[in-house]
Amino acid sequence: MAYKCRAYPDDAQRQMLARTFGCVRLVWNRTLAERHRLYHTEGKSLSYAASDAALTVMKRDPDLAFLSEVPSVPLQQALRHQYKAFSAFFAKRARYPRFKSRNGRQSAAFTRSAFRIKNGELWLAKTTAPLAFVWSWPGVDVTALGPTTVTVSREPCGRWYVSFAAEVPDPVRLPAAGAVVGVDLGIKDFAVTSDGQKIPSPQKLPHRARALARYQRRLARCQKGSANRAKAKAKVARAHRKVRASRADFLHRASARLVRDHDVIVVEDLAVKNMIRNRKLAKAISDCGWGEFRRQLEYKAARAGRHLIVIDRWYPSSKTCSACGHLLAALSLSTRTWQCPSCGTRHDRDINAAKNIAAAGRAAGAGNGADACGADVRHSGSSRVQPAVKQEPSGASLGIPVVQNGE
């Protein structure tokens, strides 16, 4: 568990941490450049032991003597983070590591040998005063928390944060709610559930996005290197933070409510990277944050003892009648309501899709993801995807698409 809260360093601490950020950035960039050189010239990789030895050589360089003026632990942690980043890249879990910039977020990680917590105060290595921070969890004692790592960061907007990473006992599982819900994600309404509830998109986000665009236009008109450009750049960073905070707050509230009120949550495996290739809908899809929403559902469901089922992205949830199982041959995106030609039921497109998603999740849960209707289902906590098997041509049941009368 990680606890992130605001920090308020004094002037001396700001200078020390700024030097530490610069040294961490230098070590990261030089090590990354050496990895590039070894791979392209000799076809070899750089191990962590070799990078650690290279750090010792850098500290002995008279031109880099300032590396010894900052705590050594954040520099070593930068090497460990880069090694893990490449391991995640080769395992296809993350993108290729990039060089660090002085204009982005700055951070430094301190392990137990480089910090101590005494009487609720945080003392970092090579500092003469405790780092002031605001603890936002009254039910958690920071002194008894026993963090393994403390990460101090500075955002481009100028705010300082400190994160405490600690091992905590498993949370108490939520009592059974006795409900299964299918969730259909959209743009006009962020999400529509199988019980007819519509979660509207956040109202403040468009307003904050317009303010961000206004500040960006002002920044573009400023002369590079001027004091006004620096002020305008700070305003753009603050606007970015407000947009990011509004989106994160909305996603946390929506995901927490779904996990709290339902035992089983069923969603579609959306290919967001492919969907944003549509230039007309790319910005709207990116603003929704579907990928982050699913990530929050996964870890919150695991902590609360709930089950998250992810069905195949090609499942025709919108074109299938949730009452009789009739499958339409085609359904345009502009069609928001339609009437089933088989049973005459009139459907709201999104609610009908959510009902079918819930039905597919029930079938997958009953068959452990191995039956035809539960094909390609990924359960919470597992990356294994069940392959599709033969689809029955008849015997339609609720939420199972079957083409009828040659349609």
**Which sequence positions are flagged as catalytic?**
184, 268, 350
Local structure of 378: helix, strand or coil: strand
- What is the identity of the amino acid at 12? A
Instruction: Give the burial class of 297: count Cβ atoms within 10 A of its Cβ; 0-12 exposed, 13-18 middle, 19 or more buried.
Output: buried
CA 198 from chain centre, in angstroms, equals 23
Phi, psi of 204 (to 5 degrees): -80, -20
Residue pair 341/329 in contact by the 8 Å Cβ criterion: no
Local structure of 67: helix, strand or coil: helix
Spell out where 33-188 has E strands.
Answer: 106-111, 115-118, 121-124, 132-133, 149-154, 160-165, 180-185
DSSP designation for 122: E
Q: Please spell the DSSP secondary structure of 280-312, one letter per residue.
A: TTHHHHHHHTHHHHHHHHHHHHHHHT-EEEEE-
Q: Please spell the DSSP secondary structure of 229-285, one letter per residue.
A: HHHHHHHHHHHHHHHHHHHHHHHHHHHHHHHHH-SEEEEE---HHHHTTSTTTHHHH
CA-nearest of 241, 268, 260 to 160 is 241
Residue pair 330/352 in contact by the 8 Å Cβ criterion: no
- Summarize the chain as % helix, strand, coil (round to 5): 45, 20, 40
Phi, psi of 155 (to 5 degrees): -80, 160
Residue pair 181/264 in contact by the 8 Å Cβ criterion: yes
Q: What is the Rg, in whole angstroms, of the alpha carbon atoms belonging to the chain? A: 26
